[in-house]
Amino acid sequence: MNNHTTLALSIIIFSSFLRVLANECVLNMGMPSYGNGSNTSEGNWGGFLTRNSCGSQFNRYLYGLANRENGTENVFLNITQQKDCLNDVLSCGFDKLTSGAGGCSDYTETDVVSNYGSALENLDQDCKNVALDGNYDKECGTCFGTWERVIVSDNRSDVSTKEKTDICRFSLLVTLTSRRIKDSGWIQSVYMCLGNGFRIDDQERNVKKVRFVKGLEVLIGGVIGITLVVAVALVVLLRKPSKIKPPKITEASVASVFEESSSIEISLREVYLSTNNLSELNLIGQGIAGKVYKGVLSDGCRVAVKHIINDAHMETFVREVTSLSHVKHQNLVELLGHCDGQDESFLVYELCDNGNLSEWLFGKDKILTWIQRLEIAIDCGKGLRFLHTFYEGCIVHRDIKPTNILLGSKFQAKLSDFGLSKVISMGQSYVSSEVRGTFGYVDPEYQKNHHVHPSTDVYSFGIVLLQLLSGQRVINLEVTRPMPLSKIARILMKGGDITEFADPKLNGEYSVEGFQLLFKLALSCTGHKHQRPSMERVVTVLEKARRVSERTLNTSFQST
User: Active-site residue numbers?
Assistant: 399
Residue 78's φ and ψ, nearest 5 degrees, are -80, 175
Q: Please state the length of the chain.
A: 560
424: left (phi over 0), alpha (psi -120 to 50) or beta: beta
Residue 18's φ and ψ, nearest 5 degrees, are -65, -35
Q: What is the DSSP string of 506-544?
A: GTT-S-HHHHHHHHHHHHHHTS-GGGPPPHHHHHHHHHH
Residue 296 CB contacts under 8 Å (≥ 6 apart), including other chains:
274, 302, 303
How many CB atoms within 10 Å of residue 90?
A: 16
Residue 394's φ and ψ, nearest 5 degrees, are -70, 130
Q: Which residues face 230 on adjacent strands?
A: none
Question: Do 79 and 98 form a contact (C-beta atoms < 8 A)?
Answer: yes
Number of H helices, E strands in the chain: 18, 12
Describe the crossing of helices 79-86 and 3-21 by its angle, rounded to 10 degrees. Answer: 120
Question: Do 423 and 257 form a contact (C-beta atoms < 8 A)?
Answer: yes
DSSP state of 505: G
Residue 350 CB contacts under 8 Å (≥ 6 apart), including other chains:
303, 304, 333, 334, 336
Question: Do 549 and 372 form a contact (C-beta atoms < 8 A)?
Answer: no
Question: Do 352 and 414 form a contact (C-beta atoms < 8 A)?
Answer: yes
Q: Which residues face 394 on adjacent strands?
A: 424
Burial (CB < 10 A; 0-12, 13-18, 19+), residue 433, is: middle
In degrees, to the nearest 5, what angle opens at C-alpha 348 toward C-alphas 345 and 354? 130
Burial (CB < 10 A; 0-12, 13-18, 19+), residue 184, is: middle
Distance CA 19, CA 521 (A): 48
What's at 205, amino acid-wise?
R
Residue 347, H or E segment: strand 345-350
